[in-house]
Structure 1
Amino acid sequence: MTIATLPQQPPQAAGEASESELLNCATEALRTRRLAEVAELRLAIQWAIVHGHARGDRDPMVTPGGDGTPAVREHAIPELAMARETHPATTRALLADGLDLVHRFPRTWAVVEAGRCEPWVARKVAVLSRALLSEQVVRVDRAVARAIAGHAPSTVLEIARAKVIEADPETHRAERERSRHERYVRLSRTDEYGYRHIIARITAGDAAWIDAMVDRVADILTTTMGHDHNHDELRSLAMGWLARPLDLLKLLVEHTQPADDKATGEPGEPGEPEQPAWAPDHMAETIDKLCALSARQLARLRGRGRLFVHITDEALRTRTGIARVEGVGPIDITQLTEVLGHADVTVTPVLDLRLRRRSDAYEHPELVKDHVWNQTGGDCFPFTPRSATRDGVDYDHAIPYDDTGPPGQTGPHNSGPLRRSHHRTKTHSGLTTRVVGPGRHLWRTPHGQAFLVDHTGTTRLTADQAAAMTEAIGDGVELYFSTPLGYAPA
């Protein structure tokens, strides 16, 4: 397989080019970018071809693409991901899309190879069609190949979705039925100001009632907080009240008009029942139970949560600085009250990371896990996001545990937190790791790549630098470089 030669940059400087030349350069730059993405897809496909056969009984094969695409060695994917400086899931998606385009979308792939369309649109079509059988995907390929070079991406994707439904209407109906059970409530990442989005998939009816309640609370807050807040801001504040049912109930009761004060402002009819027809029969009984609860029991209705907050003693003393909340991210210390709210807080003492905690057992004691987690700060796999939580990782021995080996093999000096998939990859794919300092993890791949993962992220190393770091740590020395790792000084 050959790689396309990319066009050279235009010889003219921007100030020397005419308007027509600039427009021509813009068109050429577009084609250059598209062909570069094609070249990346070809490299991924070639890697899949090279690793298309298992190399032993414990070398599993996976099929990232759809029906009719070849299998790939599962443990070959992470090393390609490291070379591309991406997460393995990102590289697996590239492999899947490339294999689908070549084997399932030959007409569309020809348009992509020619640089006549956006490769990402073709990749999206491959994802939308992945569940189809190879004979079913033919009609999608024909329709998309005719449209992808001349229509807007949204139009192409709309055509692809329609053809997917036409190709397999029964599966579409089954997927629609299955989607009814795909309910969720998720949190986005925290932005730089300490705010997050709540994303939920609920029924239209529930959504309408929640929206109405948020609006009702926002209207109340307008009267209690003044009119210097816009309505969207008040609705955002109202969402927070939904998490405090007792406070919410109190707020609603205090701002509920008497029974004879209807929305029209007219008194009710004589003999009209106080309980609305839509109210459940057990409402009065529920209110009586709430009134009978003690203050401690009422407090427990809030629920319990667990937060890991990292903060310095100076920030606590001066009330200025940054706190890092796991699962939330960095926030201004003054925002801690917003995160903790009115909750009862149990403070866990901080760990002294200067201590050398070690265990003779294979299992990591909880105290050692806390030490390793605080020292590393997240999953230590190269190029992986630090979004893992302490309870969502395995604690892996960098140098495998030896039952007949010396004591003290388990500890921060030989441990790194890894998500289960990364732990499995490290165990079976030939990757090796060493802890080369507190929170510093050296990785090496079967083909000689080397990476350092530390508080700065992932940095590529040369083979000599990796060897030097390994030798130094064996002598009890932590090795740092004054020039950027893996790159010669300019």
Structure 2
Amino acid sequence: MFSFAPVAVQPPSAAAAPSAKHMLEMASEALRARRLAEVAEVRLAIEWAVVNGHPRDDRDSMITPGGDGTPPLREHAVPELAMVRETHPATTRALIADGLDLVHRLPLTWAVVEAGACEPWVARKVAVLTRSLLSEHVGRVDRAVAKAIRGHAPSTVLEIARAKVIEADPETHRAERERSRHERYVRLSRADEFGYRHVIARVTAGDAAWIDAMVDRVAEILGETMGHDHNHDELRSLAMGWLARPVDLLKLLLEHTRADSDAETGQTEQPAWAPDHMAETVDRLCSLPARKLARLRGRGRLFVHLTDDALRTGRGVARIEGVGPIDVRQLHEVLGNSDVTLTPVLDLAQRRRVDAYEHSDVVKDHVWVQTGGDCFPYSPRTATRDGVDYDHAIPYSDTGPPGQTGPHNSGPLRRRHHRTKTHGEFTTRVVGPGRHLWRTPHGRAFLVDHSGTTQLPAAQAAAMLAAIDDGVELYFTAPVAY
């Protein structure tokens, strides 16, 4: 048993403490140093694009991430830079695109950024806003932004940029507005630590108003039926759940909607949307058993990860793929009164292998559960098992040995990452259950496992590869010098 004596932290003496004036000067210098460091990172991304500005052969695809007038670069050069920056390739591609736009399309704004006189992120946002403009039109935006970005608030600068984009090319703006009409979606966030999720949708202004009105109406009814112990926002959140149960929702609305009365005749008229047979229809729907009602709601497939202890005690954490971790006691909120079909748990100790190029469903499930997501370095674990390719680490050969397809030689990859691995001169090996060793064209090594992505010294990577060829899994507990 160890005991630790408290350590008293002494405030700096009056003589050693910096003056207020000096502290303000230090804050200003730190701001400028941070901005210039970001500028240096943008410059490096631009130089990487220049170095990789020509294809190596006819199969080496080229991309132009920037706007009109910016040079192309090798598509498969982006992930290698992303790995050493410890970011996803999409993040590094955006940095390259913004840098090329600033240098080639927004040179006046870039001069202000280079001097450390503004926030680089604001200039990068302007580059994104102007990317759809032709090079002959972007100069108007550049001149206006260069004058404003030094002294105005970011929101003001971006407002100026948006206005100048419309002025510079009204036709393109109208085309972009038309294109955006088709970019609608409804998405779900991952669950937070309390098991709640955000519903994020892009809909028309009219649909949004009607949804808001419906949610408000249901919340009003719930406020009457549930008492006043719930605040308005909580009731609106509960009302959103009712929208997913149309039968229950319709019954709730009918029960709490007063029919109009004719003052002259004294007769009560039903609303136009409630014909005579509506009540009978609702009663029939409400009398259906849960199994049949589940068919009306559609079918879904959930993968829930639980420990045996959580199953036995009813306490602990359940992880639902595509949702995230939730309290085990909240599973009923996810499953509701659905018709649930259970599938057997995979035994990961089995050595599942097939003699065909295609992965069987049981092998796919094994690889997915063992890896836990996309195995590309620094890739977020948000992919679903139906949204990835199952790639052979060592390419499959028709004349090769039996059992080439299995968890020992397979990893899940999103399609873009799969293409990068296939055509970008990247190599990978499975060096243990759920452990994938990657090597880039310039010899950098990265290990992806349950702990995330770790950059490895060349000596460690070579030792792991040599060991796995002999059938041995090698684990290092201490870092080795590069």
User: The TM-score by the shorter chain falls in which range?
Assistant: over 0.9
Pair 1:346-2:352 in alignment:
no
Asked whether the 8 Å contact 1:218–1:238 carries over to 2, the reply is yes
1:355 aligns with 2:356: no
Q: Structure 1, residues 443-484: CA drift from partner, whole Å, max 9, x if none?
A: 001111101000100011000000111111122221111124
Q: What TM-score do the two structures reach when normalised by structure 1?
A: 0.91
Q: How do 1:131-280 residues align onto structure 2 when only pairs under 5 Å count?
A: 131-257=132-258, 259=259, 269-270=264-265, 272=267, 274-276=269-271, 278-279=272-273
Q: Gapped runs of 5+ residues in structure 2?
A: 1-12
Amino acid at match of 2:81: L
Per the alignment, in what secondary structure is the counterpart of residue 136 of structure 2?
A: coil
AA aligned to 1:405 is G
* Equivalent residue number for residue 324 of structure 2: 329
Quote how far apart the aligned CAs of 1:214 are: 1.5
| Contact 1:14/1:22 (<8 A) preserved | no
Question: Is residue 409 from structure 1 mapped to residue 404 from structure 2 by the alignment?
Answer: yes
Partner of 2:118 in structure 1?
Answer: 117
1:225 Cα shift? 2.6
**2:130 aligned partner, one-letter code:** S
Using a 3 Å threshold, how does the CA distance of structure 1 residues 237 and 15 change in structure 2: closer, same or farther?
farther
**Partner SS, residue 396 of structure 1:** strand
**Aligned equivalent of 1:376:** 371
Cα deviation per residue 1:348-376 (whole Å; 9 max; x = unaligned)?
11100000000010000000000000000
Report the AA paired with residue 317 of structure 1.
R
Aligned mates of 1:163, 1:211 — CA distance in 2: 33
* Matching residue of 2:453: 458
* Structure 1 residues 153 and 381: alpha-carbon distance in aligned structure 2, compared to 1, 3 A threshold: same
What is the alpha-carbon root mean square deviation over aligned residues? Answer: 2.0
Residue 66 of structure 1 corresponds to 67
SS in 2 for 1:301: helix
Contact 2:189 2:323 in 1 (8 A): no
Say whether the 8 Å CA contact 1:378–1:417 is kept in structure 2. yes
Q: Give the Cα–Cα distance (whole angstroms) in 1 for the partners of residues 15 and 386 of structure 2.
A: 54
> Deviations 1:206-262 (Å, cap 9, x if unpaired)?
2222222222222222233332211111110111111011222233333344x36x7
Matches within 5 A, 1:15-94: 16-94=17-95
Paired with 2:18 and 2:469, the residues of 1 have a C-alpha distance of 59
Asked if the contact 2:191–2:323 (Cα under 8 Å) also holds between the matched residues in 1, the reply is yes
Q: Distance in 1 between the 2:423 and 2:278 partners?
A: 57
In 2, Cα distance between equivalents of 1:89 and 1:350:
35
Contact 1:436 1:478 in 2 (8 A): yes
The match for 1:304 is 299
Equivalent AA in structure 2 for residue 279 of structure 1: W
Letter of the 2:178 counterpart: E
Work out the CA distance in 1 between the residues paired with 2:68 and 2:339. 54
Q: Please tell me the residue identity of whatever aligns with 2:107.
A: P
State the 1:284 CA deviation.
4.5
Distance 1:50 1:56 in 2: 15
Match of residue 106 from structure 2: 105
Deviation string, structure 1 residues 61-80 (Cα, Å, up to 9, x no partner): 10010111100000111000
Check 1:317–1:269 CA distance in 2 against 1; reply closer, same or farther (3 A cut): farther
Helix, strand or coil at the partner of 1:136: helix
Secondary structure at 1:335 match in 2: helix
| Separation (CA, whole Å) in 2 of partners of 1:463 and 1:227 | 65
**Contact 1:353–1:371 (Cα < 8 Å) also in 2:** yes
Q: Runs of 4+ in structure 1 displaced over 3 angstroms?
A: 12-15, 253-257, 283-299
Per the alignment, residue 3 of structure 2 pairs with none
Q: CA deviation at 1:42?
A: 0.7
Identity, % of aligned positions: 77
Give me the whole-angstrom Cα distance separating, in 1, the residues matched to 2:16 and 2:473. 50
Amino acid at match of 2:416: S
Q: Identify which of 311, 314, 320 aligns with 2:315.
A: 320
TM value normalised by structure 2: 0.93
Q: Which residue is equivalent to 1:418?
A: 413
Check 1:14–1:343 CA distance in 2 against 1; reply closer, same or farther (3 A cut). farther
Which has the larger displacement, 166-175 or 355-364?
166-175
Q: Deviation of residue 381 (structure 1)?
A: 0.2
Deviation at 1:287, TM superposition (A): 5.7
* Distance in 2 between residues matched to 1:371 and 1:200, nearest whole Å: 34
Stretch of structure 1 that moved more, 219-228 or 134-143: 219-228
Check whether the contact 2:251–2:282 (CA below 8 A) recurs between aligned residues.
Answer: no
Report SS of the residue matched to 2:221.
helix
Q: Displacement of 1:273 after TM fit?
A: 6.2
- Counterpart residue number, 2:468: 473
1:435 maps to 2:430: yes
Name the count of aligned residue pairs: 467
SS in 2 for 1:452: strand
SS at match of 1:323: strand
2-structure distance, mates of 1:46, 1:252: 63
Q: Which amino acid aligns with 2:54?
A: H
Q: Of 442, 448, 455, which aligns to 2:443? A: 448
- C-alpha distance 48-255 of structure 1, shift in aligned 2 (>3 A): same
**Native 8 Å contact 2:36 2:116 kept in 1:** yes
Distance, in Å, in 2 between the alignment partners of 1:125 and 1:239 is: 36
Residue 337 of structure 1 aligns to a residue whose secondary structure is helix
Per-residue deviation, 1:292: 5.3
Residue type matched to 1:334 in 2? R
